[in-house]
Structure 1
Amino acid sequence: MMDGMSEPLLSARGLSRSFGELPVFAGVDLDVRDGEILAVLGRSGSGKSSLLRCLAGLLDPTAGTVTYRGAVLSGSNPGTATVFQNVALLPWQTVWQNVELGLRARRVPARVRAAAVRAAIGLIGLDGFESAYPRELSGGMRQRVGFARALVVEPDVLLMDEPFSALDVLTAENLRGELLELWASGEFPTRALVLVTHDLAEAVQLADRVLVLDSAPGGTVRAAFDVPLPRPRLTDDPAYRELVAAVYDAMTGRTNPRPDTAGDVPELARVAMPTVPVDGVVGLASLLLADGPTRLDRLAGHLGAGAADVLDALVLLGFAARDEHGAELTDAGVGFAAADGADARELFAAAALAVPLVRTIVAELRARQPLPADRILRLLSGWLTPAQATEQFEAAVDWGRYANLYRYDADHALLRPGATATLLDL
């Protein structure tokens, strides 16, 4: 469907956005082409939703421009409509009334409006629910109303902000399949789709191109991938699995905060901790123990947004190994996943001491007790933003508490040694 020679429907050049002094993303360049599905993939906090709002004209960029059909955007974008993760339907209005909201705002005549609403409701599979109220609908049906409300105005570009993430797995899979069927049928009343997602398998399943945003605050587009695979895409296809692995590597790759002085960056800042709770690490270890070697796309399907970070944590701890085919537990990981209670905590403690930030906290505690949290935050803040430093510290506290390497008094912001710390050597 794509026409690579035509002018892009929607473009961004040098697009940046900050909230106060906090950069969200910077220097983003992208084009949305006629006839394509473009996925913008990134972890939580990468600025992907803010980027989508800039494309819709709902949020002004701090720098750079958005153009629609060659004209620089000023105010809301007349060529787009947006489907949000939380549909935010008006609870006192029926499905029909919610779908026609945009047409009413545009003062479309009643007869034309009725025909358009009827067509959108039929297209998206809401026949028979016209008079229902949102409280009477399931989550999947409410999301269908959101799609119908966006499509009824026949935008050139449909913007979708994680539209499936709040749904259960089966409902989300069903809606994705129906979306692709409509897109392939030629009946879809829009010329391009932009999908913001944190689910790499969803991005590769749906998109013609995937842009990966840098996860660091103030980041830009880290990588771009064309997806030339025919639809429907088979998850057992080696080409599909290879592409998922490549996108995963781009999404999870670490960049030095100051690459020009990488040799001076301390290890605790250079080797970032995945900011995931211990429960997630234990859960994924148990899953891999039960299922054996598992493909990356299946992990994403099981764990959603957290799949990449949790697997990173297992790899960093030495409990798992991964390659382009998937991931599996190491011998140490099998021992950890099979252990219970105190044994599991002791194995986790020994592994966690290989993590630079955890090891630094334990070493600092041996020199000073109690240890002010501010001491660790200062060590990090020379190389990370305050938000990044806080996230790293909070993750280290969670891991250290589970391992009983140290205790944390949040009221006084003080760290003290745990029982396990005295049993292990650095």
Structure 2
Amino acid sequence: MNTETTNIIEVTNVTKRFPATEGGEFTVLDKVNLTLGAGEIVAILGRSGSGKSTLLRCMAGLIAPTAYRGKPLTGANPGVGMVFQSFGLMPWLTVQDNVELGLRARGVAPHQRADQALKAIDVIGLDGFETAFPRELSGGMRQRVGFARALVTEPDALLMDEPFSALDVLTAENLRREVINLWSRDDFPTRTICIVTHNIEEAVQMADRVVVLGSNPGHIRYEATIDMARPRDRHSEQFGSYVDRLYQALTGKEPAPVARAATPAGSPLPNASVGGMAGLIELVGRYADGRDLADLASDLSFEVDDLLPLVDGAVMLGLMEVDDGHAVLTDDGKRWNTGDIDANKHLFGHLAEQRAPLVRTICTGLDKSDDGSLRVDFFRDLLQRSFPAQDLRAQLDTAIDWGRYGELFDMDSTGEELIRTKELAANEGPAQGRMAHAE
């Protein structure tokens, strides 16, 4: 590849906000600065919800703002091609017609469209499938069509949003290898590649530079240059060292422990169930000196990204501490791991009310109401300016899961009203009150 240092895309001090449900805004990206230089592959790594895909769409010009070769974008970036996780093929079009879509939109003549499309199809290894429809192709072949469609316009930058995550392991590995082989060819038209991923090994395998995004809101918290020749040996000590370093960056102490004054919007609840956290605490508790999250994820055949919501929940509640990717149980975590059901519920409820802002807000609201009850819609309306609809539902579901387990409050039979536990017990009697929390 050409090793020139020209910047193809520049992201300068980008902050991106979206409107929240029925008013207000929530911030997805905050003051992000990033360049994509000619001759390099850059991986953007981050937790779910860190704004990775939003940042990629900013670079594509699908969402303002960013700049292309120093000029601010006011529309779609003419110099990029995009590959999506979900393939995004038109099912009624053949492989060749799907590949020609971008050329057709640019007004390229039919004969020239066909020539360029057939060339791209051949390069990506689909020669002979030009007249096939997407339904006739495997997942790997459909993603190849996505690559061909992105490359047919010979873009300066190829942007890929988790392009291998919907594929089986073997197909994904083969496609990664083929993309790297294409990148190494002197006649490969694309001058820079940016791939969004949550897979750390994928980032180390493919990228020259890895950028790690922090969350709430998205910001660059770490950057690493991968100084390894290709092809890269996954089993080498150097490869493992890069993986460990990025695990530490991804699983560090951010977000900070929740203070008493934290707000539900400023410190949202992670999407972690009580049962999920109990399983994590049990696994980490088997090791007297704690457990590296990288090793734990590997043992379970999961990505560390899958563990992070549970880790965040355990850290928020003070059940676990994480330092440079190494998790250890706190004294409360050890008590929760070994206690009986009643003791565990009491401990969990105390920690949730003290350290989980939304749970605390619900408890405070119920305490201040005349009869110890409030409609769920009251809390939904309070949150709607801070969270989009899907995240709002997840916040309430998590808070209610934690509150019910900790016997702080419960839901009435209609599912529309929350009731403080002491009020519920007083109204229903001791036996009925206990049964309501045995679910």
TM more than 0.5: yes
Residues 1:276 and 2:272 are matched in the alignment? yes
In structure 2, the partner of 1:394 is 397
Q: CA deviation at 1:146?
A: 0.7
- After superposition, residues 155-194 of structure 1 pair within 5 angstroms as 155-186=155-186, 188-194=188-194
Query: Aligned to 1:37, what secondary structure does the other structure show?
Result: strand
Match of 1:49 among 38, 50, 53: 53
CA contact (8 A) 1:337 1:344 kept: no
**RMSD, aligned CA:** 4.3
In structure 1, the partner of 2:81 is 81
In structure 1, the partner of 2:34 is 30
Query: Aligned to 1:28, what secondary structure does the other structure show?
Result: strand
Residues 1:243 and 2:245 are matched in the alignment? yes
Match of 1:296 among 290, 294, 297: 294
CA contact (8 A) 2:270 2:310 kept: yes
Q: CA deviation at 1:77?
A: 1.4
Q: CA deviation at 1:171?
A: 3.2
In structure 1, the partner of 2:62 is 58
For 1:339-372, what per-residue CA distance to the aligned partner results, in whole angstroms no more than 9, with x for missing partners? 9xxx668646634533322874796567876343
Query: Which one scores higher on RCO, CA 8 angstroms, separation ≥ 6?
Result: 2
CA contact (8 A) 2:248 2:325 kept: no
Which range moves more in the overlay, 293-302 or 220-229?
A: 293-302
Query: Aligned to 2:15, what secondary structure does the other structure show?
Result: strand
TM-score, normalised with respect to structure 2:
0.74
CA contact (8 A) 2:316 2:356 kept: no
Which range moves more in the overlay, 91-100 or 390-399?
A: 390-399
Q: CA deviation at 1:273?
A: 3.6
CA contact (8 A) 1:200 1:297 kept: no
Unaligned 5+ segments in structure 1 are: none
Count of matched residue positions in the alignment of Structure 1 and Structure 2: 405
Q: CA deviation at 1:95?
A: 1.3
Which range moves more in the overlay, 355-364 or 195-204?
A: 355-364
Q: Which amino acid aligns with 1:385?
A: S
Query: Aligned to 1:125, what secondary structure does the other structure show?
Result: coil
Which range moves more in the overlay, 156-165 or 117-126?
A: 117-126
Q: Which amino acid aligns with 1:265?
A: A
CA contact (8 A) 1:235 1:241 kept: no
Query: Aligned to 1:213, what secondary structure does the other structure show?
Result: strand
- CA separation of 1:234/1:412 partners in 2, compared to 1, >3 Å: closer, same or farther? same
Residues 1:414 and 2:421 are matched in the alignment? no
**Alpha-carbon separation, structure 2, partners of 1:325 and 1:236:** 20
CA contact (8 A) 2:165 2:172 kept: yes
CA contact (8 A) 2:294 2:304 kept: no
Query: Aligned to 2:116, what secondary structure does the other structure show?
Result: helix
CA contact (8 A) 1:234 1:240 kept: no
- After superposition, residues 222-371 of structure 1 pair within 5 angstroms as 222-231=221-230, 232-234=232-234, 237=237, 238-249=240-251, 253-254=254-255, 265-266=261-262, 273-278=269-274, 280-281=276-277, 284=280, 293=291, 296=294, 299=297, 302-303=302-303, 305-316=305-316, 322-324=322-324, 347=344, 350-351=347-348, 353-355=350-352, 356-357=355-356, 360=360, 364=364, 370-371=372-373
In structure 1, the partner of 2:424 is none
Query: Aligned to 1:145, what secondary structure does the other structure show?
Result: helix
For 1:367-423, what per-residue CA distance to the aligned partner results, in whole angstroms no more than 9, with x for missing partners? 876343679959x97xx9356887544322123334555322474331332749999
TM-score, normalised with respect to structure 1:
0.76
**Alpha-carbon separation, structure 2, partners of 1:170 and 1:298:** 23
